[in-house]
Structure 1
Amino acid sequence: MRFSVLASGSTGNSLFVETDQTRVLVDAGLSCKQLEERLRKIGVDPTTLTAIFISHEHIDHVKGLGVLARRYQLPVYMNEATWKHLPSSVGDIPECLKHVLETGASLEIRDLRVETIPVSHDAAEPVGFHFRQDEETLAIVTDLGYVNQRITDQVSGVDTLIWESNHDVEMLRMGSYPWNVKRRILSDTGHLSNEDAGAALAEILRGIGEHVYLAHLSRDNNLSELAHLTVKNILEETGLQVGRDVHLWPTYDDRPTPLREVRCKAKGSPDLR
């Protein structure tokens, strides 16, 4: 199994996951043109995509969904509540491409197993995703206000975890956002701070060489270096050595991460091509 975070942040989000038989996107939060360009940057022809999975209906996750699905006739999977709350800008998606994958359910597409993970966010019915192919596992969990035991259990032990580290609390409090927006971000249906991300990861990670990508960073209220340092310090305070027991990686809003291979611990570390 291979993957690339095509985009991550408040300006747009999308993840590419592939196996030998399957190529899927999680979210399509850039324009169709931008998604095509980012796929080509990692050597992927958009015509070879198999399906799209949607986590929730916010525009930074569905901006290019309608055009992409219609242009390439791609099946689209999301829960019923998300289908009902898609913004009108997505446009009509042909009924033959619309599929319901309810929260907590799982699906097998060729050689890829997909499981949904319920999360707390101010959307209709937001979810994260857990992917499995043979012994290889990858999960993406962003856009959540807090981490409960169910999330911890579902992602503990995965090979690669794409995990929200949205904001630095002090940067947010001192920043220019209106107070109602700050309150939303800080709420249980908002976004994880760097500190909360680190504390949750300390509970989730087993220290067996997992790779964690810090994702959905706020452009105005965070810095990549600050997110990395905050999470690193929290993990190392609990006895996990970053660079040995666990590996931290950045994601970007303006370019994709390199296409990398997920391998189970017994097979060694990912191929960082």
Structure 2
Amino acid sequence: MRFSVLASGSSGNAIYVESGGRSFLVDAGLSGRKMETLFQAIGKNMRDLDGVLVTHEHSDHIKGLGIIARKYGLPIYANEKTWSAMDGLVGAIPTDQRFHFDMETVKSFGSLDIESFAVSHDAADPMFYVFHESGRKLALITDTGYVSDRMKGIIKASDAFVFESNHDVGMLQMGRYPWSVKRRILSDVGHVSNEDAAVAMSEVLGDKPARMYLSHLSRDNNMKDLARMSVEQTLESKDIAIGEQIILFDTDANLPTELVDV
């Protein structure tokens, strides 16, 4: 199993995963042209994808979805409520490219199993995914106001995580956003802060070292160095050895991470 976080942040999100001879894109939150550039950067072509998995209908996750679906004839997978919420946002997608991926189910593509699970976010029916293949496990979890015990149980002991570390609470509280937006971000259907993310991370580690990608950083209320420092401090306070039990990686809004083996 190999993956790359193609882009992650307030301006757009997309993750590439390949395993067992199959390859998938999770979300397409950037323009079609930018998506093509990101694929070129990791030496891949969207024509070779087996499908696109949609997490929810917010623009930073579906901005380029309709364009690439029509251009490349890609199968698109989303749950029923997300399909309904996307109507009018992604343009016409042919019926034979529209597939339902229900919440809390597993779809198998050859030796690759993809598990969907619910998160707590202010979208129609938001869900993320865990990829399983040959004993390896990759968990994707962003866009959630908190990480419940149920979520932790689903993603626990993954070999790699793409984990939301959205904002620094102090920056958010002192920032320029109106209070209504701040309240939404801080709510149970908003986004996870650096510190809360780290607490959840400490509770989902298995017996082997895990790669942890800090993702979906707010453009206005976070910074890479600050997110990493906050996460490291919180993990160390829980006796988690950085670089041994957990290896942290940054993600970027415009540049893909290295395509790596899980």
Aligned-partner SS, 2:102: coil
Tell me whether 1:261 sits opposite 2:261 in the alignment: yes
Tell me whether 1:19 sits opposite 2:19 in the alignment: yes
Matches within 5 A, 1:190-269: 190-206=190-206, 208-262=208-262
* 8 Å CA contact 1:207, 1:246 repeated in 2: no
TM-score (norm 1): 0.94
Equivalent residue, structure 1, for 2:178 = 178
Shifted more, 14-23 versus 162-171: the winner is 14-23
Aligned-partner SS, 1:189: coil
Aligned-partner SS, 2:152: helix
Q: How many residues align?
A: 262
Overall identity of the aligned pairs, in %: 45
CA displacement, residues 151-173 of structure 1 (integer Å, 9 cap, x when unaligned): 00011100000000000000000
Letter in 1 for 2:255: R
Equivalent residue, structure 2, for 1:90 = 90
Shifted more, 240-249 versus 83-92: the winner is 83-92
Equivalent residue, structure 2, for 1:29 = 29
CA displacement, residues 120-139 of structure 1 (integer Å, 9 cap, x when unaligned): 00000001100011111101
Equivalent residue, structure 1, for 2:159 = 159
Q: Supply the distance in 2 between the matched residues of 1:118 and 1:19 (Cα, whole angstroms).
A: 23
Q: Supply the distance in 2 between the matched residues of 1:261 and 1:220 (Cα, whole angstroms).
A: 32
Letter in 2 for 1:134: S
Q: Supply the distance in 1 between the matched residues of 2:242 and 2:215 (Cα, whole angstroms).
A: 17
1:96 CA displacement = 0.2
Q: Supply the distance in 1 between the matched residues of 2:216 and 2:38 (Cα, whole angstroms).
A: 17
Q: Supply the distance in 2 between the matched residues of 1:258 and 1:117 (Cα, whole angstroms).
A: 26
Letter in 2 for 1:170: G
Tell me whether 1:76 sits opposite 2:76 in the alignment: yes
Tell me whether 1:112 sits opposite 2:115 in the alignment: no
Letter in 1 for 2:38: R
* 8 Å CA contact 2:20, 2:110 repeated in 1: no
Aligned-partner SS, 1:6: strand
Letter in 1 for 2:243: G
Equivalent residue, structure 2, for 1:101 = 101
1:207 CA displacement = 5.3
| Deviating 4+ runs (over 3 angstroms) | none
Letter in 1 for 2:209: G
1:89 CA displacement = 3.3
Equivalent residue, structure 2, for 1:44 = 44
Equivalent residue, structure 2, for 1:124 = 124
Q: Supply the distance in 2 between the matched residues of 1:183 and 1:159 (Cα, whole angstroms).
A: 34
Q: Runs of 5+ in structure 2 lacking a partner?
A: none
* 8 Å CA contact 2:29, 2:64 repeated in 1: yes
| Aligned Cα root-mean-square deviation (Å) | 0.9
TM-score (norm 2): 0.98
Letter in 1 for 2:184: R
1:236 CA displacement = 1.1
Letter in 2 for 1:178: P
Q: Runs of 5+ in structure 1 lacking a partner?
A: 263-273
Relative distance call for 1:87 and 1:98 in structure 2 (3 A) is closer
1:111 CA displacement = 2.6
